[in-house]
Structure 1
Amino acid sequence: MTVIVLLLLFLITGGADGSRIVGGRESAPHSRPYMASLQSRGSHFCGGALVRADFVVTAAHCPTPDRVVLGAHSLRDNEQTKQVFRVVRAFRHPDYNMLLNDIQLLKLDRSAQLTPAVQTIPIRPGTPITGRQCLTAGWGYIDNNRKSPDKLQEIDVFIINQGTCQTRWPFLAQSMICAMPTGAFRGACNGDSGGPMVCDGGVAGVVSFGGSVCGDPNTPNVYTRVSSFRDWITSVLNRN
């Protein structure tokens, strides 16, 4: 109950916001072939990662999309690398509650054709150590004026000690992990939610939430710690 009250206070006062990328760089085209764009009425709203040819992992707070696009670099260009899918079932974590257990799996209507621009990515076992350099990518806002990019953006982030992160987010759970880039006003922003934080070649986190100002140097971004849900992920994949 205490955790839920704290979550409500942070949400009501604007202390937590869906996450996005500001101050990053454009990715080399199709260099992140696991990236998925979740879209509604043709507009991107969340990211995800292809963990099996027919399954995408994303955040539970992302609504079920009208379509999932793989193989994209530009959202607007008619790229021959793109593959478009419907979602036949969304598996939101059964214990999802506001920001807790913020993870879901999306079952696609068919298996993706694996190409140089569309590839699966493994779940990273264990937790990356404090200070480990990882990477977050997405099509979220690139500034605090809600400017959206056309092309995939990415940024290097570094794992933050849990105790340090709890000074900003007192309700931080063990199933969450924090990371920040170096420098001010750089980091995840709206539209990056659900996208992967990749460490050592595997998905270690799913973008969950951050501060009300994108890239606030005093507010770490918080990710769902994917290794905490490895058994649940394996169970869903094995049954489907």
Structure 2
Amino acid sequence: MASGSIVLLLCVLYYGAEATHIVGGRDAVPHSRPYMASLQLRGRHGCGGLLVKENFVLTAAHCQIPVPFTVVLGGDLLTADEPTKQTFTTVRSIPHPDYDGHANDIMLLMLNATANLTAAVQLIPLQNSRLGARRNCITAGWGDIGDNKTLANRLQEVNVTTLSQRSCRGRWGAVPIARSMVCGTGGGNFQGFCSGDSGGPLVCDGAAAGVVSFSGRRCGNPRTPDVYTRISSFRDWILSVINNLESL
């Protein structure tokens, strides 16, 4: 691939309309989110992901690129050579077949090897029931920390409160919010995800309940709540893809 194309892909990943980041958050306790994955292209972080099986990472379909990702697990600092880090290459990208650029924004990545589960690298269970409103959750990522295209070096996290479908649809207006999406806001104004957080998890009660999908023009603006792909709506698809690929 030509170098100009690589630059264009990185711009789409970092600054595209649906790319997302943590603003108004805090440093995560090092290695306290051992399911987190950094999806990288030529050494630069582009999207987040979550380890759902030793050789599969779940992320957002809009993160898909036509070249393999480097997947880094067990990291806290993006630029540090931490002994806890494990690095892989993607061999298969499986976006949801009904992804249309907006809805069904979910994708599985198959790794070239099996991760070694350690204190810093762990699987996260998938939420298997529908998530209601006013749930206290957390999202995390290495994305933009100031809505100014400044990626975090250390993993960030922020508290999230889920919203009802009616409330979310009312705030978004003409933008369709499907039942397979879940919305949330931070504890105050301009707290939430942003560029580079795409594909990362919404974690509720220790389980993955959502995948970071899209937000408004300003990151963390409660007038346009953060939107996640609802994992419980796709749990059967996720398990089916994993089982089918492992049986080959």
Question: What does the per-residue CA deviation read over 1:108-132, in whole Å, with 9 as the maximum and x for residues that have no partner?
Answer: 0011000000000010111222100
The corresponding residue for 2:211 is 206
**Pairing 1:90–2:65 present:** no
Cα shift at 1:168: 2.7
The corresponding residue for 2:117 is 114
The corresponding residue for 2:19 is 18
**Pairing 1:217–2:222 present:** yes
Q: Which runs of 5+ in 2 are unaligned?
A: 1-16
Contact 1:21 1:140 in 2 (8 A): yes
The amino acid of 1:157's aligned partner reads V
The corresponding residue for 1:60 is 61
Contact 2:64 2:93 in 1 (8 A): no
2:192 to 181, 187, 194: 187
The corresponding residue for 2:163 is 160
**Pairing 1:146–2:149 present:** yes
Deviates more, 1:213-222 or 1:34-43: 213-222
Which portions of structure 1, spanning 4 or more consecutive aligned residues, are displaced by more than 6 angstroms? none
The corresponding residue for 2:108 is 105
- Which secondary structure state, in structure 2, belongs to the residue aligned with residue 61 of structure 1? helix
Cα shift at 1:147: 1.3
Alignment length (residue pairs): 227
Q: Which runs of 5+ in 1 are unaligned?
A: 1-15
The corresponding residue for 2:242 is 237
CA distance in 1, matches of 2:177, 2:142: 26
The amino acid of 1:102's aligned partner reads D
What root-mean-square deviation, in Å, do the aligned CA atoms of Structure 1 and Structure 2 show? 1.5
The corresponding residue for 2:38 is 37
**Pairing 1:228–2:236 present:** no
- TM-score, scaled relative to structure 1: 0.92
- TM-score, scaled relative to structure 2: 0.89
**Pairing 1:72–2:75 present:** yes
The amino acid of 1:196's aligned partner reads P
